Amino acid sequence: MDTKRLILFVVFSFSILLLWDTWQRKHVPVTEVASQQDVRVPAEKLKTAQDTQAIAGDSGFKLDSGPRIKVSTDLYQVEIDSLGGDIRRLLLNNHLANNSQDQFLLLDDVKKPNLYIVRSGLLAKNSNVLPDHNSVYSFEKNNYQLADGSNTLDVRLTFKNQDVEVNKIITFVRGSYEISVRYEILNHSKSIVDGLAYYEVLHDDLSSRSSSTQPSFSGISYFTREANFTKIKPSSIKFKNEKNENLSLASNDGWIGFLQHYFISAWILPENISRHFYTERLDKNIFRAGVSSNFDSILPGQKKEISSKLYSGPQTKADLIKAAPGLDLSVDYGMLTFICSPLFVVLSWIYKLVNNWGGAIILLTVLIKILFYPLSAASYKSMAQLRELAPRLQSMKEKFGDDKVKFQQAMLELYRTEKINPMGGCLPILIQIPVFISLYWVLMGAVELRHAPFFGWITDLSAPDTLFGILPVFNMPIGLLPIIMGISMIVQTKLNPAPTDPMQAKLMMAMPIIFSVFFFYFPAGLVLYWVINNLLSILQQWMINRSIHAATLAKKGNAARK
């Protein structure tokens, strides 16, 4: 195999692996298991004037609203609706919106089309005495703020009728993206009250989508120890009266929520409690995903507490691990998780030392380059040897002209004589490709890099470099890093043995330009990695080329003296 085929093969292999991993993320299977426990939410009890179960093609869904409670903490700006005590609006104080200096709006109940709320409620089995998400709660004040020196903030909402008194307490904790939701139920009636609690995420299927240059999954995700981490595409969620394979899964552990690039909202129930996960389409572009759980009978005069928590915020690894088992898997690296996870651990460790994510990327690239130095050296040595043979191969090509069979035979004989394996550079590069792809997904998925500055004009490692502005025709960001990367690729091409075919040589020279065009759209952190990797590769290739060239000259000198 000559050099141009080797390079094309490596590029093609890398592209195929990258596309395959992307395809897996977008074509995820839906796990459907029939429940064997009576813990599911009866849809007929949720069908009210305010929340109509729509049929296919109908727009019957309606989301009403009541007076709001505004909550301010160190991490959140929240609005809680008195109707159901739902969290209807949630801004993240420490995260900025895309291409804006405004706070990132994670939850919102404005259907234009970005509807995204979390809600919960109670259902009695044999009566309507308990408050669901359409019940009206009363509250003491409409503004809450986490006080200085206080670690928690409780927002209490109350529902009363002649049978029960229910307090819904939503607790915010300083420095935490975990929100506690607790029900206190006091049975005033002369009858036993039993039923279930349910917790849901409502979302549209038009917003929160990923971009073509930063592909990521947006949709429902859930985790149980038995089913592991699973994703559900919104397009696969059906109406209740359709023939469907909506999620219906019984478990004793796990969580469910909505996953998007960098952020997640997930309902988490206490461990070892029977629960039922479900999904359902409510309207043409609105679906819900939830979890429900039975609670023990409440005797007359008895009081009972039911607790759960909501994680709503960034996919910061440390916070996810702390919140619930398996929640950190929502930072989805696909089939290369076993490589990506250790890479991120090392990247985070380096960041703690240098306190700059750009610097951490550079040092990690150097570390990976050192680790793979022997493999890279074997590959570059093979290319250097082929480079030394390039003049002789060109002479052979001119000698045999159009007789390709004789040229191939002579070329193979030359390889045998010089003891050169033309495939010697292939395997070492192929071994490194999974690591390169893994680092790609690590840099693409790390919310820690979102709006993280490097230096100078690079103020967001998760966004493209736009130093020279944006080309209006193709909406193409023009940055310095991709240009440096393109130049480095041209230098690498010059260091490699040139193809004997002029057309193939032109193709190899055009590849850096083509790659640079794609990298104009890529996040600066990823381009930074490629730039540093290319510069180190150039240095290593140049040193090996120089060594092999010196050895070749020495060999020729010895031959001349003999």
Region 131-151: what's the mean pLDDT?
A: 95
Cβ 509 vs Cβ 490: under 8 Å: yes
Written as six digits, the tokens of 200 are: 């849901």
pLDDT tens sequence across 392-442: 777 777 777 777 777 777 777 777 776 666 665 565 567 667 887 888 888
The residue assigned the tokens 């009695």 is: 124
Residue 299 in this model has a pLDDT that exceeds 90 = yes
Q: Return the pLDDT at 392.
A: 74
Per-residue tokens: 94: 């420490």
Residue keyed to tokens 């969580």: 255
**pLDDT at 14 > cutoff 60:** no
pLDDT in tens, 523-551: 899 899 989 988 998 888 888 877 776 76
> Angle of helix 373-400 relative to helix 3-26, nearest 10 degrees?
130
Locus of tokens 């003296």: 561
The number of beta carbons lying within 10 Å of the beta carbon of residue 328 is 19
Contact 370, 534 (CB under 8 A): no
| Distance, CA of 85 to CA of 134 (rounded, Å) | 9
Residue 559 has pLDDT above 60, yes or no: no
- Residue 17: pLDDT band (50, 70, 90) is very low
Could you give the residue range(s) of every CATH 2.70.98.90 domain in the chain? 31-332
Asked if residue 139 lies in contact with residue 122, where contact means CB atoms within 8 angstroms, the answer is no
Find the angle CA(153)-CA(157)-CA(161) to the nearest 5 degrees: 160
How many Å apart are CA 31 and CA 41, to the nearest integer?
19
Comparing 344 with 3, the larger pLDDT belongs to 344
What lies within 8 Å, CB to CB, of 41 at 6+ separation is 123, 196, 198, 276, 278, 290, 292
- Mean pLDDT over 458-463 rounds to 90
**Is the pLDDT score of 25 beyond 90?**
no
**Spatial distance between the Cα atoms of 376 and 353, rounded to a whole number of angstroms:** 28
Cα–Cα distance list, 13 to 6, 26, 27, 437 (Å): 10, 20, 21, 11
Bridge partner residues of 281 (DSSP): 239, 287
Which of the two residues, 17 and 237, has the higher pLDDT score?
A: 237
Would the pTM of this model clear 0.75, i.e. be above it?
A: yes
Alpha-carbon torsion 146, 147, 152, 153, what sign? negative
Proportion of the chain above pLDDT 90, given as a percent = 49
> Which CATH architecture group holds 31-332?
Distorted Sandwich (2.70)
Q: pLDDT averaged over the chain?
A: 82
